[in-house]
Amino acid sequence: MAVSLRCFLSSGKKAVSALRGRGFHRSAPAAVQVTVRDALNQAMDEELERDERVFLLGEEVAQYDGAYKVSRGLWKKYGDKRIIDTPISEMGFAGIAVGAAMAGLRPICEFMTFNFSMQAIDQVINSAAKTYYMSAGLQPVPIVFRGPNGASAGVAAQHSQCFAAWYAHCPGLKVVSPWNSEDAKGLLKAAIRDNNPVVFLENELMYGVPFEMSEECQSKDFTIPIGKAKVERQGNHVTLVSHSRFVGHCLDAAVVLAKEGIECEVINMRTIRPMDVEAIEASVMKTNHLVTVEGGWPQFGVGAEICARIMEGPAFNYLDAPVTRVTGVDIPMPYAKILEDNSLPQIKDIIFSVKKTLNI
C-alpha cells in the first residue's frame, strides 16, 4: 500500500512539473468596442484630469452634456469653472477662448457645428492662427476648436459644408480630421497638448459608430502624432486617399474591388495640415495610380491640393494615369434625401472612379 502511494505521489509531482514547464498560448487582450463619441469624451476627460489649465467651453457643453453628448459627465466631474456653458455667440466665446489661450490656459472651444464657426472665423484666423508669427514667436496660442464638420443628414445647405479646405488654407493652423475611435482619441489628446491652434474636424454621422480599440489605445498616455497619415489597407493596384467618414467608404469599396482582383491601398490622412505628402507619394510610387475621396466641394479642395503636390513632387513620374478626384457635387447641399445622397460620394462612385483610373 505504501509503495503504491509513493508511486502515485511521484507521478503526480512529475505531472505538475510538466504542466509548469509547458508554455501556454496567451492571446492578446480582446479589443474593446468604443464609439467615436466615447473616444472623444475619454480624450477630454483624461486631458482635463492631467492638466488643470485645460477647460471646455461652448453651447450646451455643461449641464446638457453637449448637443451630441460628447461632453457627457464632464460638468458633474469638473464643475462650472472648467466646463462652461456659453451664450449663442460664437464670436464672443471663441474670442474668450483665444484670450484665455494667450493668457496661458489651454481651452477646448466647441462649435455645435463648424458651420457656426463662420460667425467666429475672424477669431480663428486673425487672432488664433496669426498671433504666434506676428509676435515673433513670443505669444503661443494653444487652443483646440472642435465640433462636427461636413454633411450630416437632412439639414440642407447652411449646415452641410466641409471646412477642411477652408481652414487648411491658412498658415498658422493645424487641421485634423479623424475617422475612427482610435483617431478621435489619439489625435484629440495630441491637439490639446499642442502649443499651436488646432482645428479638429469631427463628423456628426460618425459619433455613434463603434470601432475596436486596443489596450494600447485605451491608455491615458496614448496619442497619435499630428501630421502623420495611416495606411488602413495594403494594396498594389491603386491608392485611395481620404479623410473622416469617407475613409470607411474607401475601405468598403476596396472590399468590393478585391473580389474582382483589384487591390486598393487605402490611406487615412488623419491630418489635413500639415499634410503627410510623403506617405501618399510612397504609396503612389508602389501602385502607380491615385484616387482622392472627400465630401467637400471640388474647387480648391483637399483632393485638388493632393493632385498639385503629387504633380510637383517625385511621385508624378510614377503615375500611369491621371489622378481622379471623387468629391461632393459643386452645389449647395439640397434638402431632399435623394438629392442629398447624389450630392455626396457613394461607394459606387469610388468603384467607378477606380475602374476608370485603371482603364477597366
Does the structure show a pLDDT above 60 at 17?
no
Are 211 and 238 part of one and the same domain? no
More confident residue, 20 or 240: 240
Tell which of 183, 218, 253 closes a domain: 218
Does the structure show a pLDDT above 50 at 351?
yes
Domain with 57 in it: what CATH number? 3.40.50.970
Does the structure show a pLDDT above 80 at 27?
no
Tell which of 218, 248, 265 closes a domain: 218
Are 209 and 270 part of one and the same domain? no
Are 202 and 243 part of one and the same domain? no
SS3 category, 74:
helix
pLDDT for res 30: 61
Residue 131 inside a domain? The answer is: yes
Are 177 and 303 part of one and the same domain? no
CA distance 41 to 184: 9
pLDDT for res 18: 47
Residue 142 inside a domain? The answer is: yes
Are 186 and 299 part of one and the same domain? no
Tell which of 184, 218, 252 closes a domain: 218
Residue-wise pLDDT for 299-344, tens only, equals: 999 999 999 999 999 999 999 999 999 999 999 999 999 999 999 9
Does the structure show a pLDDT above 50 at 26?
yes
Are 237 and 164 part of one and the same domain? no
Are 172 and 314 part of one and the same domain? no
Residue 2 inside a domain? The answer is: no
Are 118 and 169 part of one and the same domain? yes
Are 313 and 195 part of one and the same domain? no
- Count how many residues are written for the chain: 360
Are 206 and 268 part of one and the same domain? no
Q: How does residue 86 score in pLDDT terms, banded at 50, 70 and 90? A: very high
Residue 347 inside a domain? The answer is: yes
CB 337 within 8 A of CB 154: yes
Residue-wise pLDDT for 212-267, tens only, equals: 999 999 999 999 999 999 999 999 999 999 999 999 999 999 999 999 999 999 99
Say if residue 90 is exposed, middle or buried (CB neighbours under 10 Å; 0-12, 13-18, 19+).
Answer: buried
pLDDT for res 115: 95
Residue 166 inside a domain? The answer is: yes
Are 182 and 259 part of one and the same domain? no
Number of H helices, E strands in the chain: 13, 14
Does the structure show a pLDDT above 70 at 123?
yes
Cell, residue 116: 457656426
Does the structure show a pLDDT above 90 at 145?
yes
CA distance 296 to 71: 27
pLDDT for res 237: 97
Are 53 and 168 part of one and the same domain? yes
Residues designated catalytic: 90, 159
List beta partners, residue 273. 175
Across residues 14-27, what is the average pLDDT?
A: 49
| Residue 336 CB coordination number (10 Å) | 11
Residue 5 inside a domain? The answer is: no
Cell, residue 196: 499651436
- Total domains in the chain come to 2
CA distance 275 to 267: 12
Cell, residue 330: 459643386
**Where in the sequence is the domain holding 352, given as residue range(s)?**
230-358
Across residues 49-65, what is the average pLDDT?
A: 97
Residue 8 inside a domain? The answer is: no
Residue 200 inside a domain? The answer is: yes
Domain with 279 in it: what CATH number? 3.40.50.920
pLDDT for res 274: 97
Quick one: what percent of the chain has pLDDT higher than 70?
92
Q: How far apart are the first and last CA of the chain?
A: 83
